[in-house]
A and B are shown apart, each in its own frame.
Chain A
Amino acid sequence: MSTYNLKLPPPFEEAVKSMEREIMRFLVRSTGDRDDAMDLFQETWLRAYRAYPTLRSEDGLRPWIFRIASNLCRNRARDRMRRGRVIANESADDGALDYRAPNHLNGGPEGALHLKRSIARLPGKQGQALMMRKFAGLEYTEIGTALNCSAESARASVYQALKKLRIEE
């Protein structure tokens, strides 16, 4: 009856439904710990819900929500750093893994483990960019939005990250 097109954005739950796995995967990769990932998943979800009305266009939802997730990861990493807990943990693990089996990258669980550690050692932005690109499959422009930088910078970060991983190999 009315020709006016009421452009309502979809309800939040519907809008994020398809992204939940991606976000959870990203968080598991970023934190390397399932409990942490679940905590941050909840936090991401609630923060995104609260801020959802301020999001102008629906197209921006994916990078925007990844931005929230990556910010939360960074905050948590910083908190950990202050308490100095992680340093002790990681250096112990690193000692055991660092020089082991770098050539098993094609497949096996050890190679996978090694790769995980290597990615974890990358500087924050490079690591996150790499994960968004390779595991979550975001476009460079989307990564740029999520990490508050240009698409070129996002591309460069991914490139640098890959280069570092290659050198380690």
Chain B
Amino acid sequence: MKTNRMATQVKESPPINDRVLDAMIGQTRPRIERAMKILRRPQARVGVIPSPLGRLLVAESDRGLAAIHFLFISGGERTLEMLRRKFDLIENEASARRIEAEIGRVFEGDFNATARPVDLSLVESDFQRRAYAALRRVPPGAVITYHGLAATVGQPDSQRAIGNTMATNPIPIFVPCHRVIRSDGTIGNYGGGVDNKIKLLRAEGFEVGRDLRLPSRAVMGHRRTGIFCRPDCSAARRADPTRMLIFADAKCAGHAGLRACKLCKPA
């Protein structure tokens, strides 16, 4: 009983006026603001959009697109958590709609739909950053092999690491990891489901067959010489395979600025 009385006394004892507290908090404000100029995380706008590939969680910062997540694969909590570590998140409908429109244009055959800058803040390693940067230079209508991409990054034996890098790509579609295939010509796997990989490749002009192989109309383009050949051309067979891109057809290769081989004369 005595303890109870004590408790009430403690509770009601020396009140600190709310006004005093507010004044003290107000005094700390400018100091906090100054420190926050350095500490504050950049802002990212997030939203959920429908797309031909299923529902997507998307995020963009002022520097560019920062994340795309296939919501049918998992709930997106992990992606949000990774985003929170780098950004202050706010929900933004307008920005999500813009990204939705751009993805829509991919499926209308617009080759410039994914040209906007990307923000690779979620990427931790330098190797991965280089791989994504190199991959961004593979144009729509072309694919590269895991091995070829590894060679481009400067580590030709690292095709497995490239595989992992593609699997953890934070910005699929815009960092076109669907344009990376196996050296044997099969299209390999995809973080957003193989069906979606096929959808994306088809939208970019590849008539991927039932056996998941690239079509026979595909031509090989040499990135150094800027010449494209039929796959069976003697010049193409002599060339370093890591320097080759595979184009859907001669038109795509021409579009990317390559010229036809004078030996095999691809159509």
- In chain B, positions 159-215 with a C-beta closer than 8 Å to chain A are none
List 27 contacting pairs A-B, 8 Å CB cutoff, sorted by A. Answer: A1-B50, A4-B71, A6-B91, A8-B90, A11-B90, A20-B25, A21-B21, A24-B21, A25-B16, A29-B16, A38-B28, A41-B24, A42-B35, A46-B39, A49-B39, A52-B84, A53-B81, A53-B85, A105-B9, A105-B13, A111-B13, A112-B14, A115-B14, A130-B10, A135-B11, A162-B10, A169-B6
- In chain A, positions 42-63 with a C-beta closer than 8 Å to chain B are 42, 45-46, 49-50, 52-54
Whether B32 and A42, one on each chain, are in contact in the complex, defined by CB atoms closer than 8 angstroms, is yes
Looking across the interface, which residue of chain A has its beta carbon closest to that of B34? A42
Residues of A contacting B24 in the complex (Cβ-Cβ under 8 angstroms): 24, 28, 34, 37-38, 41
Whether B48 and A21, one on each chain, are in contact in the complex, defined by CB atoms closer than 8 angstroms, is no
Q: A6 CB to closest chain B CB, in angstroms?
A: 6
The winner among B3, B14, B39, B84 for most chain A CB atoms within 10 A is B14
In the bound assembly, the distance between CA atoms of A11 and B46 in angstroms comes to 13
| B7: interface (CB < 8 Å) | yes
Q: Size class of A's contact patch? A: 35 or more
Whether B25 and A166, one on each chain, are in contact in the complex, defined by CB atoms closer than 8 angstroms, is no
In the bound assembly, the distance between CA atoms of A159 and B23 in angstroms comes to 33
Interface secondary structure of A, over-half rule: helix
| B261: interface (CB < 8 Å) | no
The winner among A53, A111, A130 for most chain B CB atoms within 10 A is A53
Chain B interface residues (CB < 8 Å from chain A): 2-3, 6-7, 9-11, 13-14, 16, 18, 21-22, 24-25, 27-28, 31-32, 35-36, 39-40, 46-50, 55, 57, 71, 80-81, 84-85, 88-91
Given A8-B80, A11-B90, A162-B10, are A24 and B25 neighbors across the interface (CB < 8 Å)?
yes
A115 contact from B13, B16, B25, B35, Cβ within 8 A: B13
In the bound assembly, the distance between CA atoms of A11 and B43 in angstroms comes to 11
Whether B10 and A38, one on each chain, are in contact in the complex, defined by CB atoms closer than 8 angstroms, is no
In the bound assembly, the distance between CA atoms of A6 and B75 in angstroms comes to 10
Given A2-B48, A21-B21, are A134 and B10 neighbors across the interface (CB < 8 Å)?
yes
In the bound assembly, the distance between CA atoms of A166 and B22 in angstroms comes to 32
Interface secondary structure of B, over-half rule: helix
In the bound assembly, the distance between CA atoms of A169 and B5 in angstroms comes to 12
Q: A67 CB to closest chain B CB, in angstroms?
A: 20
Looking across the interface, which residue of chain A has its beta carbon closest to that of B15? A112
Residues of A contacting B81 in the complex (Cβ-Cβ under 8 angstroms): 53
Whether A6 and B48, one on each chain, are in contact in the complex, defined by CB atoms closer than 8 angstroms, is yes
Looking across the interface, which residue of chain B has its beta carbon closest to that of A55? B84
Residues of B contacting A54 in the complex (Cβ-Cβ under 8 angstroms): 85
Whether B88 and A12, one on each chain, are in contact in the complex, defined by CB atoms closer than 8 angstroms, is yes
Whether A46 and B28, one on each chain, are in contact in the complex, defined by CB atoms closer than 8 angstroms, is no
Whether A162 and B21, one on each chain, are in contact in the complex, defined by CB atoms closer than 8 angstroms, is no
Residues of B contacting A78 in the complex (Cβ-Cβ under 8 angstroms): none
Q: Knowing that A46-B32, A162-B10, A166-B3 are A-B contacts, what are 16 other residue pairs whose CB atoms are under 8 Å apart, sorted by A's residue number?
A: A2-B49, A8-B80, A11-B88, A11-B90, A21-B18, A21-B22, A25-B21, A28-B21, A28-B24, A29-B16, A41-B28, A49-B40, A105-B13, A112-B14, A113-B14, A130-B10
